[in-house]
Amino acid sequence: MEKELQNYTNYLSVEKGLAKNTLESYRRDLRKLYGFMKKLEITDLQLVSRDDINQFIFELKKQGCATSSISRCIASIRSFFNFLLQEGLIEKNPAIELESPRLEKKLPRVLTTDEVEKLLSQPSPFEHNGLRDRAMLELLYASGIRVSELVSLNITDFEPQVGFLRCRGKGMKERIVPIGSVAINYVNEYLDKSRAKLLKKNGEPALFVNHHGRRMTRQGFWKILKKYALKSNIHGEITPHTLRHSFATHLIENGADLRSVQEMLGHSDISTTQIYTQITKRKIREVYDKTHPRA
């Protein structure tokens, strides 16, 4: 198998142009298979059966390998035997019908209400940049909009009198999102005291502008959020989507119905929104385990 493995990795490198790290992953997976086949005393690749490979996969599961690693290993094996078939070294691919394990959906990170409060309180209210940053953070958490939607907002999209925000989501699909009084107050304060000071020229339609007086960019907001996340000393990574996830989860925890949250988030499919119900169930379980005397 060593010779075939070398020919195969040469093929992946030259014909497919795969990166060195990817090649090493393929090689590592196939060496594991080779070692397992030696234990079964199978030295001829023609004799490897689907059951033999399934045994190998079962062994990986017993060893506690991650689902993603097993899926990649199956893909490596399937591709390797397909190469051998094309080269005429075997008569059939025993891995062709192998099923990859279903990858577990990782639940998104969600901040507690105390952590949100801690993060939002970091910008200085005595600086023009600080007022702008507080307004952006408050608006992001109050509305659950994406960072791309936040930086795309124009002044005319902010309607404080009726408590709504007009934003354009994926595919430029427009939706109306309600916003609370706290976010409205901070955005109004930013507009009254800071925006004009940050502008370099009139006529800029963007609601939030950077230090050059132009529309805030996604990258610019990421840097701002990263700065305040570090200052807040909150454990774990915080991204703009963390506030979106926290917005949805906190709504559902407090009794909001799934359809309303779906509308506010701009999800086309309610199954995407349902992940937040799993988060609330997990939290309930954690509370029970910590507090019930017989948990």
Q: Which residues are catalytic?
A: 146, 170, 241, 244, 267, 276
d(Cα 253, Cα 245) in Å, to the nearest integer? 12
Give the tokens for residue 123: 């910008």
| C-beta neighbour count of 254 within 10 angstroms | 9
Sign of CA dihedral 200, 201, 207, 212: negative
In this structure, the chain runs to a length of: 295
* Residue found under tokens 């005429």: 88
Q: In one letter, which amino acid is 202?
A: N
- Hey, what's the torsion of the CAs at 9, 10, 11, 14, to 10 degrees? 130
CA distances from 192 to 39, 186, 187, 196, 197 (A): 75, 10, 9, 8, 10
d(Cα 280, Cα 276) in Å, to the nearest integer? 6
Asked whether the beta carbons of 77 and 71 are under 8 A apart, the reply is no
Of the chain, the end-to-end C-alpha distance in Å amounts to 52
| C-beta neighbour count of 229 within 10 angstroms | 17
